[in-house]
């Protein structure tokens, strides 16, 4: 008696594309793991403890007075651009966004949604059979952020530190 065998597919994952609300498609870069200088976007303890994020916070603190002393919005923007340029071009840091991607065995498309953007990974899963035993696994993926997103993160960090500094000054004034 012969038994039926299910066919297998032998291909690898291809390209990651990101589409935002304006339906603009752009190619993104995926990184397996952050390097020692990379800055991971997020407010969890993993991002906070990351060595690249610690270096980022020190860099922000070192440039805080320069940002505060900038009298115009344009000069503040130039300060932010200079910090991002220094981190990226001089040090080699990358700004990364960590995403947990659902990988379904037996399918060919993986989708994850972050903010107003949707990320789609096209390709076929290696050695997949056509059974009904689909399972979902969460796999971390790091996507390199755009220069605009890096400037936004840097600007937020500077503004958060300015707010924290002013709050501490007010508390000190109230105690006196």
With respect to residue 10, please indicate whether it lies within any of the assigned structural domains.
no
CA angle, 169 then 80 then 140, to 5°: 100
With respect to residue 171, please indicate whether it lies within any of the assigned structural domains.
no
Is the separation of the CB atoms in 127 and 7 below 8 Å?
Answer: no
pLDDT tens per residue across span 6-65 = 443 332 333 454 444 455 556 678 888 899 999 999 878 888 899 999 999 999 999 999
With respect to residue 174, please indicate whether it lies within any of the assigned structural domains.
no
Give the whole-angstrom CA distance, residue 76 versus residue 78. 5
Confidence check: pLDDT of 66 > 70: yes
With respect to residue 120, please indicate whether it lies within any of the assigned structural domains.
yes
Is the separation of the CB atoms in 144 and 31 below 8 Å?
Answer: yes
With respect to residue 71, please indicate whether it lies within any of the assigned structural domains.
yes
Decide: helix, strand or coil at residue 53.
Answer: helix
Pairing of strands 39-41, 95-104: parallel
With respect to residue 31, please indicate whether it lies within any of the assigned structural domains.
yes
With respect to residue 118, please indicate whether it lies within any of the assigned structural domains.
yes
Structural domain of 67: 15-127+135-165
Indicate the number of domains in the chain.
1
């Amino acid at each position: 008696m012969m038994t039926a065998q299910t066919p297998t597919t032998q291909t690898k994952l291809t390209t990651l594309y990101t589409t935002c609300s304006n339906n603009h498609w752009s190619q993104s870069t995926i990184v397996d793991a952050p390097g020692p200088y990379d800055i991971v976007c997020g407010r969890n303890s993993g991002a906070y403890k990351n060595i690249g994020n610690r270096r980022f916070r020190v860099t922000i603190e070192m440039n805080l007075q320069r940002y505060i002393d900038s009298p115009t919005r344009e000069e503040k923007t130039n300060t932010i651009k200079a910090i991002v340029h220094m981190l990226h071009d001089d040090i080699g840091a990358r700004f990364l966004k960590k995403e947990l991607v659902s990988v379904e065995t037996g399918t060919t498309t993986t989708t994850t949604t972050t903010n107003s953007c949707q990320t789609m990974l096209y390709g076929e899963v290696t050695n997949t059979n056509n059974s009904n035993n689909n399972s979902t696994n969460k796999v971390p993926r790091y996507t390199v952020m755009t220069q605009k997103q890096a400037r936004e993160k840097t600007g937020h960090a500077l503004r958060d530190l300015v707010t924290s500094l002013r709050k501490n000054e007010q508390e000190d004034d109230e105690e006196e």
